[in-house]
Structure formats: structure tokens, C-alpha cells
């Protein structure tokens, strides 16, 4: 039995060495196609794929709050000159909710740069200047995959890496509420999932002096949503989403057409257009909002007790009959007092924060 077991082990080792030798003979260990294939594999198949390409499991590394599985490249002698390949290569596997993420690292800049160029040819684009790829961290995007470069230095040896992340999207049948849109954390993801014709680049005016580049889903319809990005250069990482009466977009400045009332509903039950009375009943408690004598007139204060989270769902109210002096001179107003005074207030805009 031991003889058969030993024979199987020897056969497995011989096969791994043969695979590695074949790759070296071709002058290539890893390609962009390999990395893209790996990003879409389930963990068991991914580990097998890595092993067959000459990488050996070395345990887990702690990187901040994340555990990474580490696989180091098995160095062997080259056939022609009998020299051991001096390039250090490693794979890292991370478990990130909602994505499949792998990272490849090499001590060879030419190899790293060749991979970057391959990704460009595969249709990946970068909104940052790419002429300093050796020094700057860059983000490349295409459809449901992002590739971010990174660098490390250990014992004076600099290594270059590519973190490849494949986004796992929800089933279209599961995207029913406004909150579900928080899964789409870049313009590229929106265009891939909803279609390029349904996502537009735009500029949002918070004030005359404060503007932000944004993405608009279903522009000028009752399903319109404005995505404000933390990284507006790469158009990714959500700062907040805007629902309801948005008339501060560059593309709508000269548009006199009527925009239908937003029909997005939040999981909490709130929605643009709902009356102050409905909002008060849903919240279950009285709450305060800014009056006419405030720079943020209509904004619901976030520190109200109740069922709704006004910090996550930041609400701006509008009023039809608030032209009296009492409203105009008030800095803060109670919702119950406004209802008693028969003020016709309704939810104009909702800013959803992640």
C-alpha cells in the first residue's frame, strides 16, 4: 500500500514540475487571461488551478483585518542554462463579501508591466495617467471586474502586484428597493448590469461653488437615481445616492420637460413624495426639521429618536403652503406642530448613505 501511495505522490510532484517547466520554457508564468479565469473560479477549483501552475500553499497572512491564503511559486532550474529562476512570485486569496478576489505579486517589473499592458488590450481602462505605473497605484475597470495595482517592499526588494476582483451581482429579481442599489459601487458596474444606455455621466451642483462628477441611472425618468462618488476620478465607491426631486444636474439645466415623481421605495417604507403625516406615522415619534430661517430648510435632523434612521436616509422636505412668517422665522420645527398647523409638507429628496 505504501509503495502505491509513494508512487502516486511522486507522479503528482512530477506532473507539477512538468507544468512549471513547460511554462518557463514558453517564457511566461502568468497571463491576464489566467488571472481573469481564476477570478471567476470557486475556491476549490481555484486552489487546484493555482497548484497546477506551480504555486504551493504556504499558509495565511494577516493583512489588517483580513486573512489571506498565500501561495508561493515553486522555483526550479531552467532547462537551457540550469539556473534557478530568481523571480519571486506569490498568489493571495481573500474572502470579500459580494466578490471573488485574488492578488498576484511578482518581483519582476517587466512581468508586471506586461500584465498591465495585456489588461489594456483586453478592454480595461484607467481614468488616471498610466505613464507612472511603476510608482502610482492605478485602478483598471471593465464590466464586472476591477484590477488595482499595489506595491510592497521586503528586505529592500520591491514587488509589484495586481489585485483582481470580480463583482458578484444580485439576481435582477432581487433588485426591488432603493437600498439594493448600494451593491453597484462604480459607474462601470452600473453600465455592465443595467446597460450603457441607461447610465450617464453628469455633473451635480450642490451649490454654485460646489460641484461633483456623478453617474445618473435612468436619467429623466421616474426611476432616476444620482450616484455621488467618493472617488469621482475613477467613478467608484459610493458617497451617497440621491432619489426624488433632483433638478441640479448639468444635463437638466436646459430641460423644461416634466420629470415624473420617483417611484423608488426604501426597505424602511419611505419614498419620495410621501406626505409629512405618512412619514410621521411611519417613524412612530415626533421629529424635528429645519425651518425657513435655516441654510438647510426642509432637512430632517438626524438625531431624532424613532423607527427610521435619518442618518442613513437623509430626508429633505418641501412645502406647498409655508409662506407665513412663523415658518420663515423658525430655525427648527417639530413635525407634530407642522401637522397641527396644517402645513402641506412632503418628502422631496432622499440621500441614501452606505
For 150, residues 6+ apart whose C-beta sits below 8 A from its C-beta are 103, 105, 137, 160, 161, 162, 163
55, pLDDT greater than 80:
yes
Q: Is residue 138, in this structure, part of any structural domain at all? A: yes
13, pLDDT greater than 80:
no
Are 44 and 145 found together in one domain? yes
Are 183 and 130 found together in one domain? no
**What is the model's pLDDT at position 273?**
94
283 within 8 A of 289, measured Cβ to Cβ: no
| Predicted model pTM | 0.84
For 65, residues 6+ apart whose C-beta sits below 8 A from its C-beta are none
Are 213 and 246 found together in one domain? yes
**What is the model's pLDDT at position 155?**
82
64 phi-psi bin (left φ>0, alpha ψ -120 to 50, beta other) = left
Q: Is residue 212, in this structure, part of any structural domain at all? A: yes
Q: Is residue 262, in this structure, part of any structural domain at all? A: no
Distance (Å, whole) CA 5 – CA 114: 41
**What is the model's pLDDT at position 267?**
97
Are 51 and 89 found together in one domain? yes
Distance (Å, whole) CA 136 – CA 116: 13
Strands lying side by side in the sheet with 157-167 = 55-63, 66-73, 89-94, 99-106, 157-167, 145-154, 139-142
Helix (H, G, I), strand (E, B) or coil at 4: helix
111, pLDDT greater than 90:
yes
**What is the model's pLDDT at position 10?**
46
Are 51 and 188 found together in one domain? no
Distance (Å, whole) CA 134 – CA 149: 9
Checking 272-276 for CB contacts under 8 A at 24+ apart, the result is: 272/243, 272/244, 272/245, 272/347, 272/348, 272/349, 272/350, 273/244, 273/346, 273/347, 274/346, 274/347, 275/344, 275/345, 275/346, 275/347, 276/317, 276/335, 276/338, 276/339, 276/343, 276/344, 276/345, 276/346
| pLDDT bucket at 135, cuts 50 / 70 / 90 | confident
Residues of the domain holding 70: 8-167
26, pLDDT greater than 50:
no
**What is the model's pLDDT at position 2?**
45
Rg (CA), the chain: 27
Are 144 and 25 found together in one domain? yes
The total domain count for the chain is 3
Q: Is residue 264, in this structure, part of any structural domain at all? A: no
Distance (Å, whole) CA 49 – CA 34: 9
> How many Å separate Cα 211 from the centre of its chain?
21
Share of the chain above pLDDT 90, in %: 66
**What is the model's pLDDT at position 86?**
81
Distance (Å, whole) CA 21 – CA 29: 10
Are 96 and 54 found together in one domain? yes
Distance (Å, whole) CA 266 – CA 282: 12
**What is the model's pLDDT at position 150?**
94
Helix (H, G, I), strand (E, B) or coil at 143: coil
Distance (Å, whole) CA 134 – CA 112: 9
∠ CA 140-110-186, rounded to 5° = 5
89's grid cell: 512570485
Q: Mean pLDDT of all residues in the chain?
A: 86
Q: Is residue 24, in this structure, part of any structural domain at all? A: yes
For 147-196, the pLDDT digits (tens) are 999 999 888 889 999 999 999 899 999 999 999 999 999 999 999 999 99
Q: What is the DSSP letter of 275?
A: B
- Which of the listed residues 139, 167, 195 is the one where a domain comes to its end? 167
Mean pLDDT of 208-227: 92
Are 234 and 109 found together in one domain? no
Are 145 and 185 found together in one domain? no
252, pLDDT greater than 90:
no
Are 12 and 154 found together in one domain? yes
Are 90 and 206 found together in one domain? no
Q: Is residue 217, in this structure, part of any structural domain at all? A: yes
For 309-340, the pLDDT digits (tens) are 999 999 999 999 999 999 999 999 999 999 99
| CB-neighbour burial class of residue 236 (10 A; exposed 0-12, middle 13-18, buried 19+) | buried
Number of neighbouring beta carbons within 10 Å of residue 23: 16
Are 146 and 180 found together in one domain? no
Strands lying side by side in the sheet with 236-244 = 199-205, 211-217, 225-231, 236-244, 345-352, 313-319
**What is the model's pLDDT at position 256?**
59
Q: What is the DSSP letter of 173?
A: G
Straight-line distance from the first to the last Cα atom of the chain, in angstroms, rounded to the nearest whole number: 59
Amino acid at each position: 500500500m505504501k509503495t502505491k501511495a509513494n508512487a502516486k505522490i511522486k507522479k503528482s510532484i512530477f506532473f507539477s514540475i512538468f507544468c512549471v517547466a513547460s511554462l518557463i520554457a514558453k517564457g511566461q508564468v502568468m497571463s491576464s487571461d489566467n488571472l481573469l479565469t481564476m477570478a471567476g473560479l470557486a475556491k476549490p477549483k481555484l486552489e487546484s488551478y493555482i497548484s497546477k501552475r506551480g504555486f504551493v500553499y504556504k499558509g495565511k497572512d494577516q493583512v489588517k483585518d483580513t486573512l489571506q491564503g498565500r501561495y508561493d511559486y515553486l522555483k526550479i532550474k531552467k532547462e537551457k542554462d540550469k539556473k534557478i529562476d530568481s523571480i519571486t512570485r506569490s498568489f493571495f486569496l481573500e474572502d470579500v463579501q459580494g466578490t471573488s478576489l485574488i492578488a498576484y505579486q511578482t518581483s519582476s517589473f517587466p512581468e508586471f508591466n506586461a500584465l498591465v499592458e495585456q489588461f489594456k488590450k483586453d478592454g480595461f481602462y484607467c481614468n488616471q495617467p498610466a505613464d507612472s505605473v511603476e510608482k502610482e497605484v492605478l485602478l483598471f475597470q471593465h464590466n464586472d471586474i476591477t484590477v488595482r495595482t499595489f506595491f510592497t517592499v521586503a528586505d529592500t526588494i520591491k514587488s509589484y502586484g495586481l489585485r483582481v476582483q470580480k463583482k458578484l451581482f444580485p439576481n435582477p429579481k432581487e433588485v426591488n428597493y432603493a437600498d439594493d442599489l448600494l451593491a453597484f459601487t462604480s459607474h462601470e458596474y452600473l453600465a455592465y448590469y443595467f446597460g450603457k444606455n441607461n447610465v450617464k455621466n453628469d455633473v451635480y451642483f450642490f451649490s454654485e461653488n460646489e460641484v461633483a462628477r456623478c453617474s445618473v441611472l435612468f436619467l429623466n425618468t421616474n426611476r432616476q437615481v444620482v450616484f455621488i462618488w467618493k472617488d469621482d476620478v475613477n467613478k467608484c465607491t459610493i458617497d451617497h445616492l440621491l432619489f426624488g426631486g433632483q433638478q441640479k444636474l448639468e444635463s437638466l439645466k436646459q430641460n423644461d420637460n416634466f420629470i415624473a415623481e420617483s417611484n423608488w421605495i426604501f426597505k424602511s417604507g419611505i419614498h419620495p413624495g410621501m406626505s409629512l403625516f405618512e412619514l410621521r406615522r411611519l417613524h412612530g415619534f415626533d421629529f424635528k426639521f429645519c425651518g425657513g430661517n435655516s441654510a438647510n430648510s426642509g432637512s430632517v435632523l438626524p438625531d431624532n429618536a424613532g423607527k427610521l434612521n435619518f442618518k442613513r436616509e437623509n430626508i429633505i422636505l418641501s412645502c406647498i403652503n409655508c409662506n407665513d412668517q412663523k415658518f420663515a422665522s423658525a430655525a427648527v420645527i417639530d413635525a407634530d406642530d407642522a401637522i397641527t398647523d396644517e402645513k402641506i409638507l412632503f418628502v422631496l429628496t432622499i440621500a441614501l448613505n452606505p
